[in-house]
C-alpha cells in the first residue's frame, strides 16, 4: 500500500510539474491551439507547426503518436517540412514502429520540393539500402542535389569520395569542386582541406597563394590550424613579403583557439626578438601554454629557460621535470637531462 502511495505521489508530482511548465509559457500553448485550428482548416504548413509542437512537447504534453497523424496531413498537403519531420519519426520509430520504407517515401516527397536534408537522408537510404533497394548511382545523384541545395555534409561527403584515390569515383577536380562548395557554405574543414591541397600540390599544381586564401577562410570560420598555416606562410614570405607582426596575429589566434603550435611559435618569436626586443619572460608564458597542451618542443625550450634562469628564476628541478616531459613526448635528446637520468 505504501509503495502504491509513493507511485501515485510521484505521478502527481510529474503531472503538476509538466502542467506548471506548460502554464509558464502561455504563448506557446496559445500558438499550439492556433496551429491546431489552422491545421484542421487544411493549412498544411500549420500542420507541420502543430506536429512539431506535439513532437517537442511545446505548449502542452509531448505526443509523438499524434504528431505522426498531424504531420501526415501536412505532408499530404505538400508541406515539405512536414514530410521531412514525418520521415524522421518513421526512421527513428518515434510515435510508432520503425518504418524505413515510409521514411523513404516522405524524404522523396520533401526532396522533390527542395528540402536539402531530405535529399541527404534519401541519398543515405539508397546508399545503405534501407527502406528499399540499394542504388549507388541514385544515392550519388541525390547527394549532389542535397549539396546544390545547401547541405554542407553532402558536399563534404561527395568531396571525400572523389578525393579517395583507391575508390572507383576518384576525381581530384570534382573533389576540389565539392570542397569549394562546402567552403562557400561556411564549412571550415573543407576550406582547410583545400588550403592543404594547394599548399602541398596534391593532384593539382602547387599554389601557395591559393592555399593561403583557403587557410584564411578556414581561420575566419575558427579553424585554428588554418590560422597557424596563414601565420607560417606570412612569416616565411611564401606568398609575398614577410610581415612578422601580421604573422604574430595569426599565431596568436591559433594559440588562443587551442592550437599549441601557434603558442610555440609565439614563444620562439619572443625568445628571438623577432617583432620586438627579446623577451624571455613572455617566451616562457607562451612555451608554458604550448607545453601544457603536450607540444614537445615547447617543453624542451621551456626546460632550457628554467635551467639557465632566462626570463625568470633559475629552477633546476623544474627544468629536469620539463626535460623529462619533452622526453616522454618524443624528443630523445631531452631524455639525458630528465629526472630519470
pTM: 0.81
| First-to-last C-alpha distance (Å) of the chain | 71
What does DSSP assign to residue 336? G
Q: What is the pLDDT of residue 22?
A: 46
Residue 16 has pLDDT above 90, yes or no: no
Q: What is the pLDDT of residue 26?
A: 87
The torsion of the CA quartet 246, 272, 238, 257, rounded to 10 degrees, works out to -50
Residue 143 has pLDDT above 50, yes or no: yes
Homologous superfamily (CATH) of 100-169 is: Tetratricopeptide repeat domain (1.25.40.10)
The CATH topology of domain 26-98 is: 1.25.40
Q: Which residues of 308-334 are buried (b: 16+ CB within 10 A; e: fewer)?
A: eeebeeeeeebbbbbbbbbbebebeeb
Q: How does pLDDT run across 284-302, given as a tens digit for each residue? A: 999 999 999 999 999 999 9
Q: What is the pLDDT of residue 13?
A: 40
How many other CB atoms are there within 10 angstroms of residue 295's CB atom?
Answer: 23
Q: How does pLDDT run across 235-265, given as a tens digit for each residue? A: 999 999 999 999 999 999 999 999 999 999 9
Portions of the chain given CATH number 1.25.40.10: 26-98, 100-169
Residue 57 has pLDDT above 70, yes or no: yes
Residue bearing cell 569549394: 180
Residue 138 has pLDDT above 90, yes or no: yes
Q: What is the pLDDT of residue 339?
A: 64
The angle subtended at Cα 154 by Cα 148 and Cα 159, nearest 5°, is 95
Query: Is 55 or 20 the better-scoring residue by pLDDT?
Result: 55
Residue bearing cell 625568445: 271
In this structure, what C-alpha cell is assigned to residue 331? 624528443
The average pLDDT across 38-55 equals 96
Amino acid at each position: 500500500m505504501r509503495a502504491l502511495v509513493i507511485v501515485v505521489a510521484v505521478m502527481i508530482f510529474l503531472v503538476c510539474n509538466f502542467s506548471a511548465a506548460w502554464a509558464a509559457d502561455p504563448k506557446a500553448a496559445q500558438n499550439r491551439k492556433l496551429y491546431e485550428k489552422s491545421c484542421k482548416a487544411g493549412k498544411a504548413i500549420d500542420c507541420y507547426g502543430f506536429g512539431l509542437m506535439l513532437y517537442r512537447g511545446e505548449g502542452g504534453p509531448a505526443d509523438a503518436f499524434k504528431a505522426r497523424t498531424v504531420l501526415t496531413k501536412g505532408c499530404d498537403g505538400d508541406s515539405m517540412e512536414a514530410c521531412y519531420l514525418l520521415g524522421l519519426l518513421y526512421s527513428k520509430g518515434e510515435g510508432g514502429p520503425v518504418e524505413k520504407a515510409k521514411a523513404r517515401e516522405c524524404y522523396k516527397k520533401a526532396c522533390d520540393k527542395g528540402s536539402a536534408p531530405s535529399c541527404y537522408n534519401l541519398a543515405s537510404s539508397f546508399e545503405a539500402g534501407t527502406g528499399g533497394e540499394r542504388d549507388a548511382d541514385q544515392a550519388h545523384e541525390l547527394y549532389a542535389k542535397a549539396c546544390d541545395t545547401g547541405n554542407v555534409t553532402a558536399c563534404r561527403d561527395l568531396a571525400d569520395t572523389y578525393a579517395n584515390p583507391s575508390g572507383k569515383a576518384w576525381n581530384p577536380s570534382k573533389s576540389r569542386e565539392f570542397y569549394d562548395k562546402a567552403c562557400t557554405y561556411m564549412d571550415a574543414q573543407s576550406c582547410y582541406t583545400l588550403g592543404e591541397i594547394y599548399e602541398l600540390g596534391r593532384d593539382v599544381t602547387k599554389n601557395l597563394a591559393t592555399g593561403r586564401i583557403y587557410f584564411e577562410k578556414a581561420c575566419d570560420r575558427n579553424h585554428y590550424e588554418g590560422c597557424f598555416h596563414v601565420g607560417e606562410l606570412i612569416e616565411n614570405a611564401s606568398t609575398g613579403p614577410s610581415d612578422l607582426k601580421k604573422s604574430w596575429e595569426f599565431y596568436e589566434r591559433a594559440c588562443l583557439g587551442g592550437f599549441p603550435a601557434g603558442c610555440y611559435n609565439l614563444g620562439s618569436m619572443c625568445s628571438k626578438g623577432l617583432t620586438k626586443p627579446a623577451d624571455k619572460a613572455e617566451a616562457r608564458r607562451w612555451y608554458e601554454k604550448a607545453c601544457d597542451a603536450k607540444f614537445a618542443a615547447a617543453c624542451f625550450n621551456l626546460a632550457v629557460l628554467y635551467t639557465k634562469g632566462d626570463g625568470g628564476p633559475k629552477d633546476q628541478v623544474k627544468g629536469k621535470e620539463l626535460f623529462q616531459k619533452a622526453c616522454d613526448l618524443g624528443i630523445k635528446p631531452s631524455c639525458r637531462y630528465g629526472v630519470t637520468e
